[in-house]
Amino acid sequence: MEILMIRHFQTKGNLDKRYIGKTDETLAETDHTKQLVQKRKKSCKNVERVSSSPMQRCVQTAALLFPGETPVLCDKLRECDFGAFEGKNYKELRDTTAYLEWMESGGAMAFPGGESRMEFEERCMEGFLKTVDAWIKEGVQKAALVVHGGTIMAVLSQLDSEGREFYDWQPENGGGYRIFLNEQEWKQGNRMCRRIEKL
């Protein structure tokens, strides 16, 4: 099975380099987005199923890439809850004790009032496994997930057979990965990706 994991296109918060998790932003209209839609169209051909985070930025991206398809929404594939950092950027946070402590931890400790990386990874994996298991039962050969950068990082850091880390998988807006699963191995509990290609 081939699965495209695509990060949503740019929002105003992305352009301002802000932590945007639970804020339900819409897409920003940019020339960059228009160019990426055309660039991604070739990769997106012959997709049989589309699933998405329920956030507007993901649903809108799915509509641009897969017109006529109604994505199945999966709440567990939402972006991380950034807690007190939500809506802020590095310049606004860099001198705060909470941010310095979080940076010192390598991003492993929980966001103040938000999720820890472990909680986030577990939630995303639960949503991913449920989605993929349903596709396997339906005999799907090519599918797409339109989600968040953090969601992609959380899932691929768990599935990569080479053991690459969370931050190794950070995609740009409209970027992502093509992953390949062996359905028989997957059903037997071998939850690893044999091949992962950057889009």
Write out pLDDT tens, residues 55-69: 999 999 999 999 989
Whether this model's pTM surpasses 0.85: yes
Block residue for tokens 């993929």: 132
Single-letter amino acid code for the residue at 32: H
Gap between the Cα atoms of 23 and 53, Å rounded: 13
Per-residue pLDDT of the chain (199 residues; tens, 9 = 90+): 999 999 999 999 999 999 999 999 999 988 888 888 888 888 888 999 999 999 999 999 999 999 989 999 999 999 999 999 999 999 999 999 999 999 999 888 999 999 999 999 999 999 999 999 999 999 999 999 999 999 999 999 999 888 889 989 999 999 999 999 999 989 888 888 879 999 9
Q: Nearest 5 degrees, angle CA 37-CA 160-CA 33? A: 10
Q: Where do we find the tokens 């897969």? A: 66
